[in-house]
Each structure stands twice: as structure tokens, then as C-alpha cells.
Amino acid sequence: MNTNSLTLLTVSDLAAKLNVRPNTVRTWINAGYIPGGFKLGAGRVHRFNANIIDKWIEDGCPRPLKQTK
């Protein structure tokens, strides 16, 4: 068994993990609230690195700092 394997979560997986609806996860994606995500294909399919999500949850789901231009 490879201990360095990457586990990817779907929007539905992440919604279940956070106990929210998938539409809520999509809203948070659009707001840039959830870390560890990336788009596949034409940009409509999202996947999330489970390790990053687990760390984010452990840290209390902090919102990212706003970047100044």
C-alpha cells in the first residue's frame, strides 16, 4: 500500500464531509473559500485533495485572507 497516495474528493464527497448541501460547496468554491481544489476538463468538474481538506477542517475551516492588489 502506497502511503503517499492522493485521495480526491468530489463536491458531493466534500458536502457530506462538511454536512452541507452540494450547492453550498459550489457557492464556497466560487467564493474561493475552500482550499485544495482544482478543476478538471472544461472547468465544471471539481476535485479536492483530501489531505488538504482534512487539515483545513482541523484548523477550523478558516477563510482565506483577502489579497490586496
Please write the tens of the pLDDT for every residue from 29-54. 989 899 989 998 887 899 999 999 99
pLDDT at 1 over 50: no
Domain count, the chain: 1
Residue 27 lies in a domain: yes
Residue 63 lies in a domain: no
Sequence-ordered list of residues with C-beta below 8 angstroms from that of 3, at least 6 positions apart, any chain: none
CA distance 3 to 24: 31
Residue 20, C-alpha cell as written in the block: 452541507
| Inside any domain, residue 40 | yes
The pTM (predicted TM-score) of the whole model is 0.81
Q: What is the pLDDT of residue 64?
A: 78
Does a structural domain hold residue 24? yes
Domain region containing 25? 8-58
Domain annotation covers residue 64? no
Any domain includes 68: no
| Residue 1 belongs to some domain of the structure | no
Domain assignment present for residue 48? The answer is yes
Q: Beta strands 37-40 and 8-9: pairing type?
A: unpaired
